[in-house]
């Protein structure tokens, strides 16, 4: 019955294109997520320690990032910057765009984790003679990271799904391949089913690992 509904020969022939596109999608997502985590942690630290001028700059960045669509940010990088004499490759624009968007979400996740650590614990560490750095390393950071995990995992999945718009700047990602095949051969069902399968293959393992990690942290006593 499925064979009558779907063109399995078409799907078999063009599956390698999806595999190649999935590789590009994963590569862009990986670098975008890594840089987002780094940027988010720096921004959260700036907010947590109330660094005067930097804190205001971070607040402006977070509002700008979270209130503009990724597609607009990508268009600015890919089409706008060349007007200013800055030319970046499509892949570089995609990574920078994901980092710019993801950094603000990661910053909020890290910040909420840092602020969840009770002040009394920090004061107790200080009374025991812990330096500021040692207090952060041994008391604040482990608890903050544990509390941030659910938000960080959700952001990772969100950013991977957001890669679907990078096809608009001439990147042959999964969405680009699906749209191309639909436009050329009108095999809509087949192209979309392979697209869904490709995203499931990428996202399901991450979702499962995230759920296991959250459960482990909850059993370890970090979930409260």
- Residue 220's pLDDT is what? 60
- Residue 1's pLDDT is what? 46
Query: CA-CA distance, 81 to 171, in Å (whole number)?
Result: 18
Rounded to two decimals, the pTM is 0.87
- Residue 132's pLDDT is what? 73
The segments of the chain whose pLDDT lies below 50 read 1, 223-224
Q: Cβ(214)–Cβ(149) under 8 Å? A: yes
Q: What angle do CA 44, 50, 56 make, to 5 degrees?
A: 80
- Residue 180's pLDDT is what? 92
**Topology (CATH level 3) of domain 2-219:** MetI-like fold (1.10.3720)
Query: CA-CA distance, 85 to 102, in Å (whole number)?
Result: 26
Both structure tokens of 13: 């022939």
HEC-encoded secondary structure of 2-28: HHHHCCHHHHHHHHHHHHHHHHHHHHH
Q: Which of 15, 20, 71 is nearest to 173 (CA)?
A: 20
Residue 92 burial (10 A CB sphere; 0-12, 13-18, 19+): middle
């Amino acid at each position: 019955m499925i064979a009558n509904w779907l063109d399995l020969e078409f799907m078999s022939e063009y599956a390698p294109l999806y595999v190649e596109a999935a590789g590009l999608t994963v590569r862009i997502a990986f670098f975008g997520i890594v840089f987002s985590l780094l940027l988010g942690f720096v921004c959260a630290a700036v907010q947590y320690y109330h660094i005067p001028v930097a804190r205001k700059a971070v607040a402006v960045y977070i509002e700008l990032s979270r209130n503009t669509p990724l597609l607009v940010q990508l268009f600015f990088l890919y089409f706008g910057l060349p007007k200013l004499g800055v030319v970046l490759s499509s892949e570089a624009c995609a990574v920078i765009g994901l980092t710019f968007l993801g950094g603000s979400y990661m910053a909020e996740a890290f910040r909420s984790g840092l602020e969840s650590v009770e002040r009394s614990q920090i004061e107790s560490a200080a009374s025991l003679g812990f330096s500021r750095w040692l207090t952060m390393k041994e008391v604040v950071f482990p608890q903050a990271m544990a509390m941030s995990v659910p938000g960080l995992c959700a952001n990772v999945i969100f950013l991977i799904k957001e890669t679907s718009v990078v096809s608009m700047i001439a990147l042959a990602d999964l969405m680009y391949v699906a749209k191309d095949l639909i436009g050329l051969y009108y095999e809509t069902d087949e192209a979309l089913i392979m697209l869904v399968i490709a995203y499931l293959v990428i996202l399901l393992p991450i979702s499962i690992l995230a759920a296991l990690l959250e459960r482990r942290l909850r059993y370890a006593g970090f979930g409260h």
